[in-house]
């Protein structure tokens, strides 16, 4: 065998291996033992890191998979929960086919901003409590006992339901009601919450539209500013009341049912820090019971405005939208198509849904009774309990369930206290 210059027999690779072995043999025994331990601990460390990483991934996957309305193999629900989830999946699928989709920007027929309780109306109304009763069950009993069964110029089922749910969810200490008329909305407010104050405002002492008598709350917790005692909502010293703690702005709800321009109402409310507002007469463009309703100043009319040449109205729309935390239109109970057997004609002033509506400018209803058999059964039970025809053939049945005017909830952006005296 050939020898290299050092006298070593074998190939260069063998030489290198043997050299490394010889070098290691000169290491102290303790160092060689430590090297083995380090290599062994490194293996254990890698295994532990892998297991920890895997556990973290599984944790987030399990929690992120709990999207409402969907079942995953990592979150297998009970039979009762599975039935609820299945119903939510149906509802989600049903609403995907709904023509109207709210956009988070001005210039569209259907607008929204942020999220609030209005987005959860179905769950709020139909989730049973520990006794198996739902909020809808409670509302039906209150609605059956309402003082004015017709309420010709006032709220009916859809808007009364919206107002009732809003009070239940927001739990206000004070409700400021601008526009009383027959007292029907005051009735629903009081029955939604017994222990709150109400300020009821109306320029007239007597109701209009043939209603003979106004319902008066005798609880002692409602102050009436009507007739000779009338004071417009914008003229109250809300700031002074907030400063001396007569009112709690964050726990105050304003209900506007007075057919006045909305923007005119907001300065005094925002300066006082009042945030929660419901607008009942939220007419679409071109509709309205009064000229003021048709002037393009309801929230829905403002937000749908697109003409660039009228910069004043467009600026109003942009300002209002920018000064909202959230905006949402309450859904009606059922879709317009449920009135297909109604024998009357469309109401010229608006404020009522009609069977051939395109539905591109209204949110999906609470119950998709047009495509979902379970929802249809729920609706039939509600109509029957109230004594109305579910097919809405007659005038009164139609008016009860199709009276809908895009009633909306607005969460106002509170004004900075430093700016209150400057505006």
pLDDT bucket at 307, cuts 50 / 70 / 90: low
Higher pLDDT, 213 or 21: 213
CB 120 within 8 A of CB 129: no
CA-to-CA distance for 245 and 103, rounded, in angstroms?
38
Name the band, by pLDDT with cuts 50, 70 and 90, for residue 419.
confident
d(CA 420, CA 268) in angstroms, rounded, equals 9
For every residue of 31-69, DSSP letters joined together read HHHHHHHHHHHHHHHHHHHHHHHHHHHHHHHHHHT--TT
The β-bridge relationship of strands 408-412 and 276-279 is antiparallel
Residues 6+ apart with CB under 8 A from 261: 292, 295, 297
Section 373-393 average pLDDT: 98
**Nearest alpha-carbon partner for 174 in 262, 275, 263, 267:** 275
Task: Indicate the burial class of 37 (C-beta count within 10 angstroms; 0-12, 13-18, 19 or more).
Answer: exposed
Q: Which of 4-8, 150-154, 236-240, 325-329 has the lowest mean pLDDT?
A: 4-8
- Tokens 């939220």 found at: 282
Distance CA 127, CA 165 (A): 13
CA–CA separation, 351 and 92 (whole Å)? 27
Residue 3 banded pLDDT, cuts 50, 70, 90: very low
Please report, for the chain, the start and end positions of each structural domain, with discontinuous segments joined by +: 12-64, 106-420
**Per-residue pLDDT tens over the stretch 335-358:** 999 999 999 999 989 999 999 999
Do you know the residue count of the chain?
423
Residue 24, pLDDT > 50, answer no
Average pLDDT of the segment spanning 316-324: 94
Which of 33-42, 320-329, 408-417 tops mean pLDDT? Answer: 320-329
Query: What phi and psi, each to the nearest 5 degrees, are found at residue 94?
Result: -60, -45
**Contact by Cβ (8 Å): 178, 237:** no
Q: Quick check: 63 pLDDT over 60?
A: no
The pLDDT assigned to 60 comes to 52
Model confidence at 62: pLDDT above 70: no
- Mean pLDDT across the chain, nearest whole number? 84
Confidence of residue 8 (pLDDT cuts 50, 70, 90): very low
CB-based contacts of 317, cutoff 8 Å, min separation 6? 106, 107, 302, 303, 305
Find where tokens 């949402």 sit: 328
Whether the pTM exceeds 0.85: the reply is no
Mean pLDDT over residues 3-24, rounded? Answer: 43
Q: Is 134 exposed, middle or buried (0-12, 13-18, 19+ CB in 10 A)?
A: middle
Distance CA 175, CA 356 (A): 37
- What percentage of the chain reaches a pLDDT higher than 90? 65
Give the DSSP letter of residue 255: E
pLDDT confidence bin for 418, thresholds 50/70/90: confident
C-alpha angle 356/357/360, rounded to 5°? Answer: 145
Neighbouring residues of 246: CB distance < 8 A, sequence distance ≥ 6: 240
How confident is the model over 170-196, as a mean pLDDT? 97
Please answer whether residues 270 and 239 qualify as being in contact, where contact means their C-beta atoms are separated by less than 8 angstroms: no
- Write down the residue that tokens 């509170």 correspond to: 414
| Alpha helices (runs of H) in 196-309, residue ranges in sequence order | 238-243, 262-272, 299-303
């Amino acid at each position: 065998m050939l020898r290299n210059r050092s006298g070593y027999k074998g190939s260069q690779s063998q030489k290198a291996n043997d050299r490394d072995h010889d070098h290691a043999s000169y290491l102290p025994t303790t160092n060689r033992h430590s090297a083995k331990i380090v290599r062994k601990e490194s293996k254990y460390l890698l295994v532990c890191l892998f297991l920890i990483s895997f556990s973290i991934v599984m944790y987030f996957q399990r929690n992120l998979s709990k999207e409402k309305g969907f079942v995953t193999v990592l979150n297998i629900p009970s039979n009762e929960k599975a039935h609820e989830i299945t119903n939510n999946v149906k509802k989600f699928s049903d609403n995907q086919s709904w023509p109207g989709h709210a956009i988070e920007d001005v210039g569209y027929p259907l607008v929204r901003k942020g999220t609030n309780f209005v987005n959860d109306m179905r769950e709020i109304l139909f989730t049973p409590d520990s006794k198996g009763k739902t909020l809808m069950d409670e509302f039906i009993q209150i609605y059956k006992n309402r003082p004015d069964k017709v309420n010709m110029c006032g709220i009916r089922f859809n808007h009364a339901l919206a107002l009732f749910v809003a009070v239940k969810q927001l739990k206000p200490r004070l409700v400021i009601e601008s526009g009383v008329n027959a007292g029907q909305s005051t009735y629903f407010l009081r029955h939604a919450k017994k222990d709150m104050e109400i300020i009821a405002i109306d320029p007239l002492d007597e109701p209009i539209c043939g209603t003979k008598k106004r319902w008066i709350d005798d609880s002692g917790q409602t102050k009436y500013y009507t007739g000779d005692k009338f004071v417009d909502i914008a003229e109250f010293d809300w700031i002074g009341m907030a400063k001396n703690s007569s009112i709690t702005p964050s726990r105050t709800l304003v209900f506007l049912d007075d057919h006045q321009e909305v923007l005119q109402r907001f300065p005094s409310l925002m300066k006082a820090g009042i945030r929660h507002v419901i607008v009942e007469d939220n007419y679409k463009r071109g509709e309205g019971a009064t000229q003021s309703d048709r002037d393009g100043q309801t929230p829905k009319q403002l937000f749908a405005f697109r003409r660039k040449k009228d910069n004043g109205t467009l600026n109003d729309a942009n300002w209002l939208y920018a000064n909202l935390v959230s905006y949402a239109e309450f859904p009606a109970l059922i879709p317009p198509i449920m009135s297909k057997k109604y024998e009357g004609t469309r109401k010229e002033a608006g404020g009522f849904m009609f069977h051939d509506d395109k539905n591109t400018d209204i949110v999906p209803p609470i119950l998709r009774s047009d495509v979902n058999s379970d929802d249809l059964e729920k609706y039939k039970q509600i109509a029957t309990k109230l004594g109305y025809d579910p097919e809405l053939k007659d005038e009164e049945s139609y008016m009860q369930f199709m009276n809908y005017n895009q009633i909306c909830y607005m969460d106002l952006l509170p004004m900075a206290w430093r700016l209150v005296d400057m505006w």
